[in-house]
Structure 1
């Protein structure tokens, strides 16, 4: 992973966007995650390019997206990046079944060389890190039936602050060294490029690699600055479409959104690359890592492991080695998934597969569970009596009459492979179970919570039973007040259930896990059991009158850097390090200080009418920062500012939120990245 040298230090490079949930098609593998609300997203069409991409190389390389490992995300330039690590990763590829699952490249990133070339202008491997040289490492990796990758930059120096030798002006010499060492993959970065035209720089290295006669996969790491998807297909096999990933939900989400519209440019031998995987590095939950892996696979992205496999958990290995999901990424048709819909953060992405099936991701961007639904027709499948849908995380097949739906947990993804299949009756019917409309509970108050079990299949679900239970040992009371059983639920019909839920008086505001369970059997006798983690939000209705949002308790927050600050600016990454809120030299005593991308959720209890604020970029970052503000009432966008910069005075916002259960304050990056996007909701008020 590279760093853009023009970026500021401190908080400006980090990206973070950022119930009940589930079941469909056996969605028990999706774990609920703490609610940290992400902004709903306006509907996104399957964007088509305005200009054609260049023809792809006809060299037979990377006909499916490259799969392998790169050390940067886990080690950077630390001393533990060395020959021993690289050999250990190769050993683990074999021992843990990753090689058999399709991973083949073991790639070195920056810091493998000495800081200066030798007297003949040649690159010199660091003898401390690599005492047997790069060729020695390559020979070892090749002995395992794997391939070796290496890194340099299309500039005078690489991207690490130490400034190792770059390839600009040394392309033919460096390429020949790589070939002589047995290198199979080159990542060519973008730092210290001296302003030389990008197409020229990357084309020269392409020609140098060709001149060696060795087949070397060429990864263009240009960060998407010059729209490489429009010109790089005739130069390399893959190109970065984004800036660097970091191990956070917001970073992963931001890169995914930038890469999704580029589906028309991808195909065998020419791939969009939204950067390496962070799975297993600890900054996200396992559910978020499953989403990361699912969406990268649906986007036909390169799958380059970024965690130190010597320290990885079994859950990390289980995610990375899921062959059902890998098969989506590696499908030989080479289609990148396209967006079917995305309103309200409820994403449906469909990927055409060579066998005529569709891989379908139902992805919930938001911090609360949401029902996401589509149809077989909408994702591109032909009309049929019924379909078989395989849950790729549960590895189970179900039949459906055509509806694909689930209540998906916050930040979760249901990944299906769906096909018209005349043998559908051999599988149990798909079922959807969830709570209707969300569970918001006031302490000490009994709240009615309705739920629904829906048979999505063509045949009947028999002996259906649904139950709901509260957090263990917390004193919650959950009682059914309606039917929870049915002997038969025919296909296309539902069992409606009702419970009363009560949290003890004094329960703190926040999210609490409940367990929703459903069991049924198919006409053939197959028993299906799903335990669905759902979330109840404990909150108190805001007081009557007008209140400062800087003083009211919120339900959840997500912030691009550091925490959301009350009545001060964002500051940096520590809580309480903000300054007086200041926009255009005007100081405000009250409000919220955030950093894009950001979202702050308040419980409005359907009793509030209006949000008002003065919004803008805080003065604390000088002349930098470009943001946009939005107010959402549940899933309705009720106010937006458009793009604001540091040179703009505060802009007045007034939004009608009448009838909303949740009011959400959202800040986006204005479309140009998150550098110095310190934003203020000054004098933010809620009237109820």
Structure 2
């Protein structure tokens, strides 16, 4: 092909997100598990260590592993409990040796895995390796299916101490029995080596391994792959937290590796990530480049009080005490009688979270000592454990009964609620603050203040002072917030502080919480897809309102492309009625045009009514529409309206998947024929055939053909027969393609009975250098989605610059081992 370096294969393929949940929901009781290795489990507490995948993907080598081992020692992470330095996929040669054994890549590992193991062991650490319970690994290297004994013995001979055993290209019939068979085969093979090796089952929770893997694996993945963003963390916590009954010494629920330090989240979110993993007794496997880790990253990963909760010798995963509205309380018993209590706020706003001590496993007492493992503060509470918890934050207390609370500062919960802020003299917003005394003993001389950004004002309209505040009493204060007219839209912190005196010595103290003010501005001139504008509020019967996809259920990003009456849309809002979405217009917009209808995933007989409101005035309504009906087009006059509301009302009591398909908002008096933003440039539409699509690696197989069975643009798409190991599909261009001004490439995909990974690569320059992204996106069985890769996510070889004006080829990756449909390869 003339490119600089061959195309890389899939490197995060087949993350299944519980694809078989429906198939196994009614499965028979799990089979009895075989006995573990004699001599006890090598994972009496959750394993702690490092894995290169999250930060490096396939770019693993001997130097990285050795340098990471060095940093474990020099940084104090080893002393904190981290011991495994694990190598993930792409460590081996593409083919087995003549003797049938796996061969380390001689360029990446010139001293072999044995040499690396010897180096790591000399540091007092342990080495991990990666394998796969399929014919190939996720990146297309040799798998261990049918080679269990020779591979287990090879790893044992090299001195491997930990095996992560993946699930790609598994040749499975999808039954739970097959999963048990494949993973038991490697368990037995490890046992025959006589070496103690931690066995990590990585089948993504597909077959509910918590029901059958105890005694087979030391830990098992409970979810799909983690990503370095809050949406991923929030979703994984919701899936893993209820599985506490299945965890314990030598058999741990694994919600995947740590993303702390990789840059996609805030420090608050990373502390939540680390703290909730510790509460859930999860393995703590670092996934960042420790050679570049900041002091803050190392302080989060190395917090010994948090680690102590995770590594507690009782080995109990925290139980869920309460879970409502995105607020969760977890309770974990600890050796010695203490309990860890986590107050977890997954919402986007500051929240006061409380739990009565009697609702946890705490012994009855007159007061309790609360030690905050993140701040180091020690407080006392009489009967309720409570705190103002920031958005995406988690407060973790180590709690025990306290006989004499008089000498310990009281726990004071500072909360606040704040509506949307509109700049200008007629705008502003309303703030409500609450201060609740949870300590044993009254607060005195309480004063509340609100520190707002420069140029803003905060004026109390009710009492902000209280001479005395008794235990469990609350002072609530209302405030008017003023915001200058030229304030840009964005997020602005407001700090609420309660200052007070406490105890017999009348000591001064203060407690603060931060709430984020959301400032909205009216939309700019132009016609734009409504899904590109931030909603001010949204209420949805099931899960979140989804952008540019249907509502699939309770988790984020769990739907397929919006489909109404057989028409597939790549833009829109997927709701679960009853639902209501609100946007701020500021009187600047004139029209909304949208299709509306029941998503094709709905059951027979589902109905809903779609209504558009300009403020409180009904501007358009669909009347009752039902499953299978063609989309209804609504046009709403929004002239002069300050607010836009989209309301979907179900015809019965059950939630209904209801779609606002391709809604376009017109603002600023632009013409009806002006372009819709963001503008999209179709590169391949497959309307006249295959558009010259071919395969990048002919030896790996695959074919393409035009098909009318799936299309998001025009009347035809492309049917792709994919090999199980995957291939790149696309074409070199006859002349350079200029995509100056565009920021991303996208394509739409639909699967059948087998899911697929999706990825995008391009070739640039006269030497056809291969540049590839790293966002491997899974599309499950019988579903569809849009695969997206931003130009700033695409990496090129050293010395090569990605020039959007000189793109020479475009490729997409697919690997189902069956038929997949794609359409509308485009730049936006």
Give me the TM-score of the superposition, normalised by structure 2. Answer: 0.63
The verdict on how the C-alpha distance between 1:569 and 1:348 changes in structure 2, with shifts beyond 3 A counting, is: closer
CA RMSD in angstroms, aligned pairs only: 4.2
The verdict on how the C-alpha distance between 1:243 and 1:350 changes in structure 2, with shifts beyond 3 A counting, is: same
**Counterpart in 1 of 2:272?**
291
**Counterpart in 1 of 2:130?**
151
**Counterpart in 1 of 2:109?**
130
Q: Deviations over 1:202-237 (max 9, x none)?
A: 112111111111111111111111111111111111
Q: Quick check: 1:164 aligned with 2:141?
A: yes
Aligned length: 579
* Greater RCO (Cα-Cα under 8 Å, separation 6 or more): 1
Alpha-carbon distance between aligned partners in 2 of 1:3 and 1:419, rounded to the nearest angstrom: 44
Alpha-carbon distance between aligned partners in 2 of 1:425 and 1:50, rounded to the nearest angstrom: 57
Structure 1 residue 67 displacement after superposition: 0.6
Is the contact made by 1:54 and 1:232 (CA closer than 8 Å) also made in structure 2? Answer: no
Q: Quick check: 1:185 aligned with 2:162?
A: yes
Structure 1 residue 5 displacement after superposition: 3.9
Query: Quick check: which has more Rg, 1 or 2?
Result: 2
Structure 1 residue 89 displacement after superposition: 0.8
Alpha-carbon distance between aligned partners in 1 of 2:569 and 2:94, rounded to the nearest angstrom: 50
Structure 1 residue 355 displacement after superposition: 2.6
Alpha-carbon distance between aligned partners in 1 of 2:517 and 2:564, rounded to the nearest angstrom: 37
Q: Deviations over 1:522-553 (max 9, x none)?
A: 425665333422122335899xxxxx977986
Alpha-carbon distance between aligned partners in 2 of 1:526 and 1:91, rounded to the nearest angstrom: 47
The verdict on how the C-alpha distance between 1:649 and 1:329 changes in structure 2, with shifts beyond 3 A counting, is: farther
The verdict on how the C-alpha distance between 1:569 and 1:337 changes in structure 2, with shifts beyond 3 A counting, is: closer
Q: Quick check: 1:98 aligned with 2:77?
A: yes
**Counterpart in 2 of 1:214?**
195
**Counterpart in 2 of 1:279?**
260
Q: Quick check: 1:114 aligned with 2:96?
A: no
Is the contact made by 1:82 and 1:129 (CA closer than 8 Å) also made in structure 2? Answer: yes
Q: Quick check: 1:69 aligned with 2:78?
A: no
**Counterpart in 2 of 1:34?**
none
Q: Quick check: 1:519 aligned with 2:499?
A: yes
Aligned match of 2:447 in 449, 465, 471? 465
Aligned match of 2:151 in 174, 185, 189? 174
**Counterpart in 1 of 2:648?**
654
Q: How does 1:229-628 map to 2 (within 5 A)?
A: 229-435=210-416, 437-443=417-423, 444=425, 445=427, 447-472=429-454, 475-486=455-466, 488-523=468-503, 524=505, 527-539=508-520, 554-555=535-536, 564=547, 583-585=564-566, 592-593=572-573, 602=582, 614-617=596-599
Structure 1 residue 180 displacement after superposition: 1.4
Structure 1 residue 6 displacement after superposition: 8.5
Alpha-carbon distance between aligned partners in 1 of 2:266 and 2:531, rounded to the nearest angstrom: 29
Is the contact made by 1:141 and 1:148 (CA closer than 8 Å) also made in structure 2? Answer: yes
Structure 1 residue 425 displacement after superposition: 3.2
Alpha-carbon distance between aligned partners in 2 of 1:136 and 1:519, rounded to the nearest angstrom: 60
Structure 1 residue 317 displacement after superposition: 1.0
**Counterpart in 2 of 1:20?**
none
Alpha-carbon distance between aligned partners in 2 of 1:438 and 1:50, rounded to the nearest angstrom: 50
Q: 2:214 is paired with a residue of what secondary structure?
A: helix
Is the contact made by 1:54 and 1:233 (CA closer than 8 Å) also made in structure 2? Answer: no
The verdict on how the C-alpha distance between 1:181 and 1:528 changes in structure 2, with shifts beyond 3 A counting, is: farther
Q: Deviations over 1:603-626 (max 9, x none)?
A: 699xxxxxx99455589xxx9xxx
The verdict on how the C-alpha distance between 1:149 and 1:527 changes in structure 2, with shifts beyond 3 A counting, is: farther
Structure 1 residue 462 displacement after superposition: 4.1
Alpha-carbon distance between aligned partners in 2 of 1:373 and 1:562, rounded to the nearest angstrom: 28
Give me the TM-score of the superposition, normalised by structure 1. Answer: 0.75
Q: Deviations over 1:437-457 (max 9, x none)?
A: 434433324545332222110
Q: 1:377 is paired with a residue of what secondary structure?
A: helix
Q: 2:459 is paired with a residue of what secondary structure?
A: strand
The verdict on how the C-alpha distance between 1:449 and 1:593 changes in structure 2, with shifts beyond 3 A counting, is: closer
Structure 1 residue 131 displacement after superposition: 1.2
Q: Which runs of 5+ in 2 are unaligned?
A: 1-9, 18-26, 524-528, 552-560, 586-593, 611-625, 633-645, 651-657, 662-754, 756-777, 787-828
Is the contact made by 2:223 and 2:256 (CA closer than 8 Å) also made in structure 1? Answer: yes
Which moved further from structure 2: 259-268 or 452-461? 452-461
Structure 1 residue 239 displacement after superposition: 0.8
Is the contact made by 1:616 and 1:649 (CA closer than 8 Å) also made in structure 2? Answer: no
Alpha-carbon distance between aligned partners in 2 of 1:456 and 1:358, rounded to the nearest angstrom: 18
Structure 1 residue 479 displacement after superposition: 2.7
Structure 1 residue 499 displacement after superposition: 2.9
Alpha-carbon distance between aligned partners in 2 of 1:215 and 1:270, rounded to the nearest angstrom: 15
Q: 1:234 is paired with a residue of what secondary structure?
A: coil
The verdict on how the C-alpha distance between 1:588 and 1:335 changes in structure 2, with shifts beyond 3 A counting, is: closer
Q: Deviations over 1:491-541 (max 9, x none)?
A: 322334343211123544543211212333442566533342212233589
